[in-house]
Structure 1
Amino acid sequence: MIKMVRIDERLIHGQVAMIWSKQLGVDRIIVVNEKAATDPILSSTLKMAAPDSIKVIILDEEKAKVLLRDPRMNDLSILVIVNSPKDALFVVENASEIKKVNLGNYGKASKDGDERIKLNDNVFLGEKDKEYLREIIKLGVTTEYQLVPDQPITDMKTVL
């Protein structure tokens, strides 16, 4: 079962690997990212960042569509990580029973031409980003900002 989808432009790093994976009790981290799936160095680096007890799977969208719909996923405890609201919407639309999307670090490093507005020190959103997040919310998925589990939660409905 997918415990949470996290939007974090850094993908797997200390907060995700050590704090979120422990908090959620996951045994798998699935990264859905085209670049990471095709870059062996990036893929290897992401896998090294995760604890040894957690299996990391890095997929492009095509392979993710198949795996996210596989009923055997229900027997696992999974954290899905993407690096943009657009990719989070893709996951929500292609997986069953996503209950929560968590927005972590996003927008500081992006160079897609969409002018971004600072939400806080860790999140900068452009109009396209907001639209993707609104679509996720319309699908009935709880969408919130929370950098780490011991910090307060901000419901993205109130922000958008």
Structure 2
Amino acid sequence: MMRVDDRLIHGQVALLWTKQLGLNRIIVANDKAAASDIQKNALLLAAPAGVKVAVVPVDKAIKMANDPRGAHFKMLLLVNNVGDLYKIVKGVEPGNTKVDIANVGRVSGDIENKHKLTETVYLNDDELAQVQEINGLAKNFVYQPLPTDSPKPFESLLKGE
């Protein structure tokens, strides 16, 4: 699964998604976090026991996702912004991988200049264009904030449904 969540690794990811997906790997793809020992260590500490975590730049995450040795892992590739997801989807064949945008746009502020798609998804014009392109590339593109929520096709949010 690929997921956009402003908060990266937090309680929902560490507890709910890890259990629901049976994860044994989490890749945090974020250039800033990968360059900061403090942020990297905080993310590693937030991860659940028994799950290997890599905090890497986006380009390295693309290489990791394309590495055939990773095919037998249950992996979550986690980003905190639409631009990074866009770059990853363009660089990795998503196939039937679930691509989930769930929480984005509120933490970065300036929400009055963004399009509100849901209570947890706010996108600026550039992000909206990127999401529309992702919609054409990813076969399983959804909005699913929690594993207990039913996944909603992201296309329906783009159509205002």
Give TM-score scaled by structure 1 length: 0.90
Structure 2 partner of 1:36: 33
- C-alpha contact 1:114 1:126 (8 A) present in aligned 2: no
> Which residue number corresponds to residue 89 of structure 2?
92
RMSD: 1.8
Partner of 2:51: 54
Which residue of structure 2 lines up, in the alignment, with residue 152 of structure 1? 150
What is the number of equivalent residue pairs in this alignment?
Answer: 157
* Structure 1 unaligned residues grouped into runs of 5+: none
**SS across alignment from 2:76:** strand
Which runs of at least 4 in structure 1 moved beyond 4 Å after TM superposition? 111-114
Percent of matched pairs sharing the same residue: 37
Q: Provide the secondary structure at the position in 2 that maps to 1:104.
A: strand
CA distance in 1, matches of 2:93, 2:119: 32
Give CA-to-partner distance per residue, 1:103-148, whole Å, 9 cap, x none. Answer: 1111002258992122222111212111111111111332111110
TM-score by length of 2: 0.89
Q: Give runs of aligned pairs for residues 1-160 of structure 1, distance below 5 A.
A: 4-98=1-95, 99-111=97-109, 115-160=113-158
TM-superposition CA deviations, 1:51-81 (whole Å, max 9, x none)? 1110000110232232222110102110000
What is the rounded CA distance, in whole Å, between the counterparts of 1:142 and 1:66 in structure 2?
21
Structure 1 CA distance, aligned partners of 2:17 and 2:111? 31
Cα offsets for 1:6-27 (capped at 9, x unmatched): 1001100000111011111110
